[in-house]
A and B are shown apart, each in its own frame.
Chain A
Amino acid sequence: MNLEKEKVKHLAELARLELGEEEAAEFSRQLSEVLAYAGKVREAPVAGMEPVIHLLSLANVFREDEVEPSLPREEALANAPHREEGFFRVPRILEEN
């Protein structure tokens, strides 16, 4: 299975990764190999088997609608490089997603 350079660049963009031309070519080669290896799964005989919709054999794991204590604010913000009046402070965001 092949992962073209253009596709690699697109994925890099979505993941906000900067890739040079050479890197894109290199990752295209490497990722194609990885995909080819994982692609062996496709050779498994699955005729007549139910498709797997979820990896877990569990279903319906619920919590009741009950409030539990939250983190103290100091703790919630403890690892924040920047904060201001109880908020996390981050660089200006121009465009809304």
Chain B
Amino acid sequence: MNYETVIGLEVHVELKTEAKVFCGCAARFGAEPNTHVCPGCLGMPGALPVLNKRAVEYCIKAGLALNCRIAPFSRFDRKQYFYPDLPHAYQISQDDLPLCAGGGLKIVNPAGEERLVRINRIHLEEEAGRTYHSGTGTAGYSLLDFNRSGLPLIEIVTEPDLRSPEEARIFLEKLQEILRYIEVSDCKMEEGSFRCDANISVRPAGSREFGRRMEIKNLNSFKAIQAALAYEENRLGSLLAAGTPPEQEESRGWDETRGMTFFMRPKEKATDYRYFPDPDLPPLVIAEEWVEAIRAGLPELPEEKKNRYVKEYGLPVQDADLLGSFRETAEFFEATLRCYSGEPKTVANWVMGDFARLLNLEKLTPAQSKLKPEALAAMLQMIDDGQISGKIAKTVFEEMFYSGKSPREIVAEKGLAQISDENQLTAVVREILAKHPGPVADYRAGKTKALGFLVGQVMKETKGQANPGLVNKLLREELDK
């Protein structure tokens, strides 16, 4: 029998604000434990939460980028459970009136089919603190750091629209790309600012009812997500095939080293969170004008950008993909293009080639580098105008990258200008011909390949600065005399 896999995701994303969501403590990763805490995010009696406006803005931004409706009226609720890293013993979250609802994201699956993954909701909540487990057995204990407590978090919940582990991974990669583009989060899985719980069930193909659902918690890499879902897909499929479908819904963990999921607890015990409206926080009334102002500030999203690069600039799809995936790279490319009248493909080659190589080497992003788009454009123009050769340009480019100087300065300082002076080059050409009678005879005997050797000698003599087109022309003229 054929089976169908059904997957839905819950993605938690930490927002990149300066301060926490309900207090003024710094929202920064990697500080000394318990140094960014106050009575608010430590849950001390009497401290009252006041909502960070930018967190709301970022949540709306994410909602708009994912085609959600922004709720004109929204509020915060208390979600109650006990865990030592949750200092109030409740989490401020949103239950029945989330900030964003509906929406969706289109992906192309490995079979090349376009699929719409609907988004059920996006809500804003606060992050819990961090727990570190220490010691073993009865001597074991836990250590708590509340720096993370109260960081702004959004939870993005999809409908069960994904049909394979690969689709889940593709969706998440695309989601991450968009959220980074709109600059609401760093989305670093390794730092926990982008994490995912996945719900998966398997049913006979064609069935309209869902199979029993398994929730896999705390998946912290794209690789882990795909591997855990593939493992679970197999396990559930085998259970169905053996006529022993799972008896209960479960929360399961992922064991990276053994490459398998494991039972954590039955879902039936699903916590009753007893949500109720947080009396400390007034509701949100989101004006249409605010939403429209945020929408107007959204950048062109990666997908539109990539399509435009292909259509407008005639770039190959692979180039468009490479340039369009990271906002800073795309912005650098476009800024260069604005100051350069030549071919977009030329700019693309330099950005994806030498620039990307040096950025990688120095572990920098385009915006952190000293190279400015105007400087690259000026250098390309100098090549087009025959002022420097393509080969010399590589040296100039590297110098520009490290010093931030203009190409003109570098060419002048280092005497790298292309030699296009006919008299000067004719002299060199004659000298080379006199030095190499053999190849000259070969050429005259019809072995035209010898010309390449002679061009090379002239270039060498001029330290690569001779205008290659002119060298070719002059050599022929001299040889054909």
Contacts and interface: CB of A to CB of B under 8 A. Distances in A.
Given A63-B50, A67-B26, A87 B144 contact: yes
Given A61-B282, A90-B84, A76 B34 contact: yes
Q: Is the interface of B mostly helix, strand, loop or mixed?
A: loop
Contacts of B52: 62-65
A94 to B, nearest CB: 9
Contacts of A66: 18-19, 24
Contacts of B271: 14, 97
How big is the A interface, by class? 35 or more
A85 B86 CA distance: 20
Interface in B123-143: 131-133, 135, 140-143
Interface in A37-62: 53-56, 58-62
A74 B285 CA distance: 40
| Interface bin, chain B | 35 or more
B83 A93 contact: yes
Q: Indicate the member of A63, A71, A90, A96 with the most B CB atoms within 10 Å.
A: A63
Contacts of B51: 61-63
A96 B75 contact: no
Contacts of B274: 14
B328 interface: no
Contacts of B252: none
A18 interface: no
Interface in A7-29: 10, 14, 16
A81 interface: no
A59 B284 contact: yes
Contacts of B97: 53
B285 A59 contact: yes
A91 B141 CA distance: 5
A61 B76 CA distance: 13
Contact of A92 (B33, B140, B279): B140
A73 B32 contact: yes
Interface stretch (B37-45, B377-385, B447-455): B37-45
B476 interface: no
Contact of B38 (A10, A70, A90, A96): A70
Given A67-B24, A68-B24, A54 B282 contact: yes
A87 B33 CA distance: 6
Q: Is the interface of A mostly helix, strand, loop or mixed?
A: loop
A67 B19 contact: yes
Contacts of B208: none
A70 B35 contact: yes
B213 interface: no
Contact of A97 (B19, B34, B81, B272): B81
B142 A71 contact: no
B142 A90 contact: yes
B237 to A, nearest CB: 27
B54 interface: yes
Contact of A93 (B25, B142, B145): B142
Given A59-B284, A62-B51, A65-B17, A89 B25 contact: no
A16 B69 CA distance: 39
Contacts of A69: 24
B175 interface: no
Interface string B78-103: 00111110100000000001000000
A70 B26 contact: yes
B283 A92 contact: no
Nearest to A74: B34
Given A63-B50, A67-B24, A68-B19, A53 B283 contact: yes
Given A59-B284, A71-B39, A96 B142 contact: no
B123 to A, nearest CB: 16
B265 interface: yes
A51 B56 CA distance: 25
Interface of B: 17-19, 23-26, 32-39, 42, 50-56, 73, 75, 80-84, 86, 97, 131-133, 135, 140-146, 217-218, 264-265, 271-272, 274, 277, 279, 281-285
Given A55-B277, A87-B33, A88-B144, 15 more contacts: A14-B274, A54-B75, A56-B282, A59-B282, A61-B51, A62-B56, A64-B54, A68-B19, A68-B38, A73-B37, A76-B37, A88-B34, A88-B146, A90-B84, A93-B133
16 contacts: A14-B80, A53-B97, A54-B75, A61-B282, A63-B19, A66-B24, A70-B25, A70-B37, A76-B37, A85-B33, A87-B33, A87-B143, A90-B84, A90-B142, A92-B135, A93-B133
Interface of A: 10, 14, 16, 53-56, 58-71, 73, 76-77, 84-93, 95-97
